[in-house]
Each structure stands twice: as C-alpha cells, then as structure tokens.
Amino acid sequence: MRIALINSGLGLLAPAAALHQLRPDADLVLAPDPDGMPWGPRTPADIASRALLCARACALHAPDAIIMACNTGSVHALEALRAEFEPQIPVIGTVPAIKPAAAEHRSVSIWATVATTASAYQRRLITDFADGADVTSIACPGLAESIDAGDEAATATAVAAGAAQTPADCEAIVLGCTEYELVAHRIGLVVPSAITYGSATAVATQALRRIPATSRATSDHEHGSAVGTVRVLLSGRPAELPAAALRYPEGRLLAPLVVGGRVERLPAAGFLGRD
C-alpha cells in the first residue's frame, strides 16, 4: 500500500505520521512544494497548478491514494486533482475539524491563516457545522511560515499573538491550517483551558477507507510484519527530508524510514515540540 501526501510545506507531516501509526506497513510519498510556497497568496488557478505538479510527480510512484494535506489546497485544487486522477486514484481532501469541536463545546475558536480566516470557505463551514456554538475566527499571520521554517522564536511569538486574540472562555481551538498541528502542544500550553482539534487522524482514516479493496487486501496480508518507507519529492523532485521537519515529533518519527535521499543535517538550534 502506498499513499501520497501533498502540501505547500510541512503540514503533511501530521497526517503522514498518523498514517504510519495506523498502518506502519504503508509506504508514503511526501510532496511539499517549496518552490511555490506559500500557496495562500496565490490565485486559485495557480494553487491548482502547483498541486497538480506535485500530484503528477507522486503518480509516478503509483500511489493507492493521494491526500491533499492542506486546507487551502483542498479548497482550490481538489476538483482539479479529482478530475485528473479519479477514479483510478482516490483523492482525499482536508477540512478543519469544526463539526466535532462544535458538537462538544459551546465556545470555539478557529486558528487559521489570514487568507483562510477571511475566506468565504471558512464562513460557510462555520454556518454549516458550528451547530449553535459561539465561534471566533483567529487570524495567525506568520505562524504557518515560521513552522515551515522551523523557527522556534517566530513560532512562539505567533502562537502568543494567537492566544492573545482567543477569548478567555474558549473551550476548543480548531486548527484550521495543517501546519498548526505540528505545534498543537505549544498552543495547548498557552491556552490551557482549550482542547485542540486537528484533522490528521480523520484524514488518515478516510484515506485508508478509500483505498481500493484489492490494494488493501494485499497490504492487509503483510500488515504486522512489514515497515513502510518514506520518499520525499520537493516540488516534484526526489530529495532529502527538509531539516526543519526534524524539529517536530512527526518528522522525527518518519525520518528513519526515508529512502532515496539522506536526511539533511539538523541545524544547531533546539528542537520544537515533544521529546
């Protein structure tokens, strides 16, 4: 079984780690787009073009499913990806976990990029799934970029700014950008009254569900003994795992599985995240 994940940056690490934990035997293809990042300021057509570039490179590795592990990419590129690859290869999108958060809590905040916070897409999600909860949208300028860069100081500053905007009675924080899941623990520390809701596990579970039965049956036979591999494609090119990925537990989990390229040397600065 092989699953490809696409994102402009490191936001694909969280669902990739969830997939590895659910199915350690699955091979993964990680396809960030450093040449085109960030996607947020780009036009919808440009985002779709960048996503297709990454997906076509992934398709050469014959994946059983492709995950668009990016909220922005899911809004603007999912239709183009599905038009090109389905039904042969299922394409799974990413949606912020507003529905489960609102089902359990009355005061919910959505942390997202500036573009997503201002988008009709997020407003529609709140209208459709908030279920009567009091929802506050929190724009977090620079947070995704600092996470992708592995910049601990800038990440801490951006998280603190998000926390300052979050209502004191907030019970749940929806992580509306997949990069934010890499620092969910840090967000939880600065807003200890709130539970963080990410989408990584739900997306991974949906991808496994969508894989054709024939591919799933072959992999199920080997499940329990085999350990999958990880391949990295940077803007479509076979490459090393970016050094910034090693600042996060999810990246460190996947790093020993990387084939087809060594892992870059980690910078001298300390790790972000859980040890």
Residues facing residue 188 across a β-bridge: none
- Spatial contact of 174 and 108, defined as CB atoms under 8 Å apart: yes
Collapse the DSSP code of 124 into the 3-class scheme (helix H, G, I; strand E, B; otherwise coil) and give the result: helix
Edge to edge, the sheet with strand 65-68 lists 91-92, 65-68, 2-7, 27-32, 230-234, 237-238
Question: CA 120, CA 88: separation in Å to the nearest integer?
Answer: 31
The residue written with tokens 């969910």 in the block is: 184
Please state, in angstroms and as integers, the Cα–Cα distance from residue 194 to each residue in 22, 105, 185, 248, following that order: 26, 10, 11, 22
Q: Which active-site residues does the annotation give?
A: 70, 177
Neighbours of 39 (CB within 10 A): 26
The residue written with tokens 């940077």 in the block is: 234
Burial of 231 (0-12, 13-18, 19+ CB in 10 A): buried
For the chain, what is the radius of gyration of the CA atoms? 18
Helix pair 71-85, 44-59: axis angle to 10 deg: 60
The token duo for 139 is 């724009």
**Sign of the CA dihedral running 267, 269, 273, 275:** positive
Could you tell me whether strands 134-139 and 195-197 are parallel, antiparallel, or unpaired per DSSP bridges?
A: unpaired
